[in-house]
């Protein structure tokens, strides 16, 4: 047994004030549900199918035409901004697929495009003057699910899109293949879209789509239940994942089993971080491979375990976290995000 108690978490986890207050003012469960709903698809029941058939299906051509117009207008604005950025960007933007290259727009800009066009859709729906916008407005006003979604498409790449009842609406359809039309609408069940429901699927896409490397995160053991992934990009940039609220919330709802499965049972479980990276990190983070007695010390989220913490310590960290009082969990969530944000901003490179 390693000598520490639940009090360790309040030091590893510097209060992330905004997030902490967000959770304190509501129930944790409700906040986590909002995080998940913010980018996950909603269930398609009979009501959603009926509303889709009544309002959207008869106007589908008008909706596609109008969304394409909104997308073209957005492209004009964003290209002007990106053009000004090009001269100031470092060389790796042309080599690392995980970094969006403004010179290759729209490839890789699915979230930027989807967010931007979504804003324009909402504006046009307030006082709809065209058949497509009126259809969307009527549909939404009668309880139709019209929302942003983000997940994995065809098991191969990340995708940001929209759900409209039983339809998958992609206003960034050409962000993987430029030759595709910019807007596509199809049945959600035929879109190949899936919510991000486990860490291994996310890690698989990062490796296959971007060609980056993924490792199980054992070097900061007290952050492992929240952030079990080390991501190393092609250019050598190192960061801890996940960074999306929905995946964080699902992990918490699973009682951290999602993270434990990834660390202990996924194909990434046995991979050790490159020795060169560990050597670099030892210069910036404290470590003690023999003494993890925190009863008399000051534990921090930057405590680094050379070579990765052993299974028994990892197991105990998960067990202790599961026994933490629920009212204290918001501090852990907020503080761990703060710690990881700080780490990712360090810009550590292999």
Neighbours of 289 (CB within 10 A): 11
C-alpha distances (whole Å) from 221 to each of 138, 224, 254, 275, 292 are: 51, 5, 19, 18, 11
* Matching residue, tokens 């993987």: 176
- Residue 186 carries which DSSP code? E
Q: What is the pLDDT of residue 15?
A: 38
Cis peptide before 106 (omega within 30 of 0): yes
Cβ-based burial of 283 (10 A; exposed 0-12, middle 13-18, buried ≥19): exposed
59-90 residue pLDDT tens: 999 999 999 999 999 999 999 888 887 777 66
CA atoms of 188 and 191, how far apart (whole Å): 5
Contact status, residue 102 vs residue 93, Cβ threshold 8 Å: yes
Structure tokens at 40: 């996950």
> Is pLDDT at 154 greater than 80 in this prediction?
yes
Contact status, residue 232 vs residue 344, Cβ threshold 8 Å: no
Q: What is the pLDDT of residue 300?
A: 46
What is the average per-residue pLDDT within 140-156? Answer: 96
DSSP symbols for 110-167: HHHHHHHHHHHHHHHHHS--SHHHHHHHHHHHTT--EEEEEEEETTTEEEEEEEETTE
Q: What is the pLDDT of residue 257?
A: 97
CA atoms of 77 and 35, how far apart (whole Å): 30
Q: What is the pLDDT of residue 297?
A: 35
Number of residues that make up the chain: 350
Residue spans of alpha helices (H) in 179-274: 199-205, 245-253, 257-265
Report residue 166's pLDDT band, with 50, 70 and 90 as the boundaries. very high
Positive or negative CA dihedral for 127, 130, 133, 136?
A: positive
Report residue 251's pLDDT band, with 50, 70 and 90 as the boundaries. very high
> Is pLDDT at 132 greater than 70 in this prediction?
yes
Q: What is the pLDDT of residue 302?
A: 52
- Average pLDDT across the chain, whole number: 85
**Percent over 70 (pLDDT), the chain:** 85
Q: In what order do the strands lie in the sheet with 213-216?
A: 213-216, 229-232, 238-241
What is the average per-residue pLDDT within 161-178? Answer: 96
What is the average per-residue pLDDT within 182-189? Answer: 97
Question: Which of 83-92, 154-163, 314-323 holds the top average pLDDT?
Answer: 154-163
Q: What is the pLDDT of residue 65?
A: 98
Q: What is the pLDDT of residue 112?
A: 94
> Is pLDDT at 4 greater than 60 in this prediction?
no
Phi, psi (deg, nearest 5) at residue 102: -55, -25
* Matching residue, tokens 């986590």: 32
Neighbours of 322 (CB within 10 A): 12
Domain boundaries defined on the chain: 6-37+198-345, 46-194
Q: Please give the radius of gyration of the chain, using alpha carbons only, rounded to the nearest integer.
A: 22
What is the average per-residue pLDDT within 144-173? Answer: 96
Contact status, residue 268 vs residue 261, Cβ threshold 8 Å: no
> Is pLDDT at 20 greater than 70 in this prediction?
no
What is the average per-residue pLDDT within 187-211? Answer: 93
What is the average per-residue pLDDT within 254-264? Answer: 96
Q: Who's near 232: CB < 8 A, 6+ residues apart?
A: 212, 213, 214, 215, 238, 274, 277, 350
Report residue 324's pLDDT band, with 50, 70 and 90 as the boundaries. confident
Q: What is the pLDDT of residue 259?
A: 96
């Amino acid at each position: 047994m390693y000598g520490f108690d639940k009090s360790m978490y309040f030091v590893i986890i510097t209060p992330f004030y905004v997030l902490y207050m967000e959770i304190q003012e509501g129930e944790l469960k409700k906040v986590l549900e909002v995080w998940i709903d913010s980018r996950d698809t909603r269930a398609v029941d009979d009501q959603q199918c009926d509303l889709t058939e009544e309002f959207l299906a008869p106007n589908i051509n008008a909706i596609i035409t109008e969304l394409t117009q909104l997308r073209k207008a957005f492209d004009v604005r964003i290209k002007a901004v990106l053009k000004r950025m090009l001269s100031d960007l470092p060389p790796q933007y042309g080599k690392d697929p995980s970094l969006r290259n403004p010179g290759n727009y729209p490839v890789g800009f699915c979230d930027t495009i989807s967010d931007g066009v979504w804003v324009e859709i909402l504006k046009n729906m307030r006082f709809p003057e065209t058949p497509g916008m009126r259809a969307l407005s009527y549909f939404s006003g009668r309880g139709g699910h019209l929302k942003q979604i983000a997940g994995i498409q065809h098991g191969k790449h990340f995708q940001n899109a929209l759900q409209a009842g039983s339809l998958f609406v992609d206003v960034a359809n050409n962000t993987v293949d430029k030759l595709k039309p910019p807007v596509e609408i199809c049945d959600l069940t035929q879109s190949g879209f899936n919510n991000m429901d486990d860490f291994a699927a996310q890690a698989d896409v990062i490796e296959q789509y971007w060609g980056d490397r993924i490792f199980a995160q054992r070097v900061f053991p007290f952050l492992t239940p929240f952030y079990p992934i080390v991501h190393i990009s092609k250019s050598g940039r190192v960061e801890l994942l996940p960074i999306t609220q929905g995946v964080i919330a699902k992990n918490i709802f699973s009682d951290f089993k999602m993270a434990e499965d990834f660390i202990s049972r996924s194909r990434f479980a046995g991979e050790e971080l490159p020795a060169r990276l560990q050597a670099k990190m030892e210069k910036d983070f404290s470590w003690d491979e023999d003494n993890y007695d925190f009863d008399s010390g000051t534990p921090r989220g930057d405590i680094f375990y050379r070579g990765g913490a052993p299974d028994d310590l990892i197991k105990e960290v998960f067990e202790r976290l599961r026994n933490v009082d629920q009212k204290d969990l918001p501090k852990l969530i907020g503080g761990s995000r703060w710690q990881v944000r700080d780490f990712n901003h360090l810009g550590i490179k292999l």
